[in-house]
């Protein structure tokens, strides 16, 4: 479905991605784990067209998308929940959700998706006319995921969804992520620092170190790997 081949990306003179190759198949939950500053977020930004790769190819369903602007990539069916959630604080919950559907004009279908989301997260329906900035961290994460769903993505990119949330809320969010994957068949690319949680949720995983993919395997094998255990799971 999505394939990155030898992708390199730079911020000025600093190289953030080095020959990154990742393959994601339809219906999978794939995770990318790695330390702070490894290039995980840059990978997502490259897919979405915010940080255009300096070389390499990114293909989505057979179509080359590298170097395209985000407003051409979103309608293809790729949507991102960015790190830190980036809720529009002065927009209401409903306005935030409508921004997710910015490039769509099929009103009845948008309404249906909003109903689905209110079903998924009833608390968002209660808070509909409240400003996004007044929500709690967990509610904001739910809103960020919902906003991304409003573009009806076939590939959902999630950047650190567990960041700064209480364990109970994290569990709830991850249950929903799995549910979205199962119910809607949405393919999920999950970037996480919480490697244990990510690998337990995903089917396959990639490990990233200083801009390079250093390992890729099934999530089970990665969980059992001694090197991964030492470096990312805090076990010895």
In the complex, the residues that contact another protein under the rule CB under 8 A are 48, 50, 69-71, 73-75, 80, 82, 84, 86, 88-91, 95, 98-100, 102-103, 133, 137, 140, 147, 151, 164
In eight-state DSSP terms, residue 57 is: E
Q: Smallest distance from the beta carbon of 202 to another protein, in angstroms?
A: 22
Task: Find how far residue 156's CA is from the centre of its chain.
Answer: 5
Give the shortest CB-135-to-another protein separation in angstroms.
Answer: 9
With respect to another protein, which residue has the nearer C-beta, 39 or 205?
Answer: 39
- Number of Cβ within 10 Å of residue 2's Cβ equals 22
Nearer to another protein, 38 or 110 (CB): 110
Shortest distance (Å) from residue 103 CB to another protein: 4
Q: What are phi and psi of 219, to 5 degrees?
A: -60, -40
**Secondary structure of 86-102 as H, E, C letters:** CCCCCCEHHHHHHHHCC
Q: What is the DSSP letter of 214?
A: E
**What's the min distance (Å) between Cβ of 105 and another protein?**
9
Tell the smallest beta-carbon distance from residue 123 to another protein (Å): 17
Tell me whether residue 9 or residue 222 sits nearer to another protein (CB atom). 9
C-beta of 28 vs 83, nearer to another protein: 83
Specify the residue, 39 or 49, whose C-beta has the smaller distance to another protein.
49
CB of 142 to another protein, least distance (A): 15
Residue 235 CA to residue 227 CA, distance in Å, equals 10
**C-beta closer to another protein: residue 29 or 48:** 48
What DSSP designation does 131 have?
Answer: B
Distance in angstroms (rounded) separating the CA atoms of residues 119 and 115: 6
Rounded to the nearest 10 degrees, the angle between the axes of helix 107-120 and helix 137-149 is 150
Q: Are the C-beta atoms of 33 and 206 separated by less than 8 Å? A: yes
């Amino acid at each position: 479905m999505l394939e990155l081949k030898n992708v390199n990306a730079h911020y000025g003179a600093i190289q953030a991605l080095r020959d990154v190759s990742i393959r994601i198949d339809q219906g999978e939950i794939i995770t990318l784990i790695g330390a702070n500053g490894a290039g995980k977020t840059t990978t997502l930004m490259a897919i979405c067209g915010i940080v255009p790769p300096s070389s390499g190819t990114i293909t989505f369903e057979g179509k080359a998308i590298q170097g395209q602007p985000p407003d051409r990539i979103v309608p293809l069916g790729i949507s991102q929940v960015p790190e830190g959630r980036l809720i529009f604080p002065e927009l209401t919950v409903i306005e935030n959700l409508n921004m997710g559907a910015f490039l769509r004009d099929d009103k009845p279908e948008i309404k249906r998706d909003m109903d689905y989301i209110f079903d998924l997260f009833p608390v968002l329906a209660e808070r509909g006319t409240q400003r996004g900035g007044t929500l709690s961290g967990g509610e904001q994460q739910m809103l960020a995921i919902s906003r991304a769903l409003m573009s009806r993505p076939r590939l959902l990119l999630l950047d650190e969804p567990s960041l700064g949330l209480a364990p109970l809320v994290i569990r709830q969010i991850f249950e929903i992520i799995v549910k979205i994957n199962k119910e809607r068949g949405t393919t999920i690319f999950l970037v996480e620092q919480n490697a244990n949680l990510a690998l337990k949720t995903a089917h396959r995983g990639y490990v990233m170190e200083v801009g390079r993919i250093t390992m890729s395997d099934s999530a089970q094998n990665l969980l059992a790997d001694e090197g991964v255990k030492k470096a990312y799971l805090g076990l010895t």
